[in-house]
Amino acid sequence: MSSRGRFITLEGLEGVGKTTNREFIEATLKSRDINVVVTREPGGTELGEQLRHLLLHASAPVSAEAELMMMAASRKQHTVDVIEPALQSGKWVLCDRYADASYAYQGGGRQLGLDVVASLHSLLTIDLQPDITFLLDMPIADGLKRMAARGKPDRIEQEELAFFERARKAYLQRAALQPDRMKVVDAGAPLEQVQARVSELLMQFLDSNNG
Ligand code: Z5A
């Protein structure tokens, strides 16, 4: 039987470079002959991608609670259908956002509170913890500037600055409580510097995980 794979996640606010660094991490893992499944949330399954579309483009109002439950529905399906089977078969999983995002955006940004997010995850037995999380962090205005070039913002991206400030604070508070898992990377630095730091942290992780 193959040993269980490792679960790596990327987190952070808009425009911090999750996609850019995800591609970099994927290439590094592949260069080490690690079989990696790359996926994202919300999304990652057919149902999840349909929920993603609704979450980002719903034309009717979406309550904070409904938003949290749709994120969780996507996460449950994704965990059961994609992430757990991959990890159990020995594959590694690299995921663009996972549960930490709900603590940041719905718990912090939408002000539902962290306990509500934790209770819902517990009710749905979403208890999988990433082995390492890269939290890409930078001032919000700079991230939004990077995103401005991308055209029309989606439903969540249209939120006011205070929403993103609360989400960032929740992310950083969570990282402070779990420093062994959540590695905060200064994402405002030039890309070469960001990737040098991501690479350093990834190498440490690989060395301690037989990668
Ligand atoms: N959401 C939620 O509320 N609750 C949840 O539980 C979950 C998600 C799971 C979708 O996320 C939305 O869902 C998101 C949170 C919410 N909403 N918002 N707002 P997403 O991950 O699909 O969307 P995103 O956060 O907007 O990410 P993104 O658009 O893919 O951006 P990114 O991946 O972080 O950045 P990037 O595409 O890699 O880089 C952006 C640009 O900056 C690009 O031109 C790069 O070339 C450039 N870049 C990257 N790094 C650098 C550096 N270091 N210097 C200069 N330029 C750089």
- Average pLDDT on 64-90 reads 98
User: Can you list the domains of the chain with their CATH numbers?
Assistant: 7-208 (3.40.50.300)
- Is the confidence at residue 179, as pLDDT, over 70? yes
Mean pLDDT of the chain: 96
**Model confidence pLDDT, tens digit, residues 6-22:** 999 999 999 999 999 99
Taking the centre of ligand 1 as the mean of its atom positions, its distance from the CA of residue 150, in whole angstroms, is 11
Q: What global pTM score does this model have?
A: 0.97
Q: What is the pLDDT of residue 211?
A: 66
Name the burial class of residue 33, with classes exposed (0-12), middle (13-18) and buried (19+) by CB atoms within 10 angstroms of its CB: exposed
Taking the centre of ligand 1 as the mean of its atom positions, its distance from the CA of residue 167, in whole angstroms, is 14
Taking the centre of ligand 1 as the mean of its atom positions, its distance from the CA of residue 144, in whole angstroms, is 9
Q: Is 194 in the pocket of ligand 1 (CB under 6 A)?
A: yes
Q: What is the pLDDT of residue 2?
A: 67
Q: Which residue has the higher pLDDT, 66 or 1?
A: 66
- Average pLDDT on 152-163 reads 91
The best mutation among 16, 53, 75 to test binding of ligand 1, ranked by most ligand atoms within 8 Å of the C-beta, falls on: 16
CB 25 within 8 A of CB 203: no
- Average pLDDT on 36-60 reads 97
Taking the centre of ligand 1 as the mean of its atom positions, its distance from the CA of residue 1, in whole angstroms, is 37
- Average pLDDT on 43-64 reads 97
Phi, psi of 188 (to 5 degrees): -85, -10
Collect all residues with Cβ–Cβ distance below 8 Å to 42 and sequence separation of at least 6: 48, 51, 52, 55, 70, 71, 74, 75, 97
Taking the centre of ligand 1 as the mean of its atom positions, its distance from the CA of residue 2, in whole angstroms, is 34
Q: Is 6 in the pocket of ligand 1 (CB under 6 A)?
A: no
Using the 8-state DSSP alphabet, how is residue 159 labeled? Answer: S
Report the alpha-carbon distance of residue 44 to residue 85 in Å, rounded.
13
First and final C-alpha spacing in the chain: 17
Q: Percent helix, strand and coil across the chain, each rounded to 5?
A: 55, 15, 35
Q: What is the pLDDT of residue 149?
A: 78
Q: What is the pLDDT of residue 30?
A: 98
Go through 134-144 and write b for each residue having 16 or more CB atoms within 10 A of its CB, e for each that does not.
bbbbbebeebb
For the CA of 14, the closest atom of ligand 1 is 25
Report the alpha-carbon distance of residue 9 to residue 182 in Å, rounded.
9
Q: What is the pLDDT of residue 150?
A: 80
- Is the confidence at residue 1, as pLDDT, over 60? no
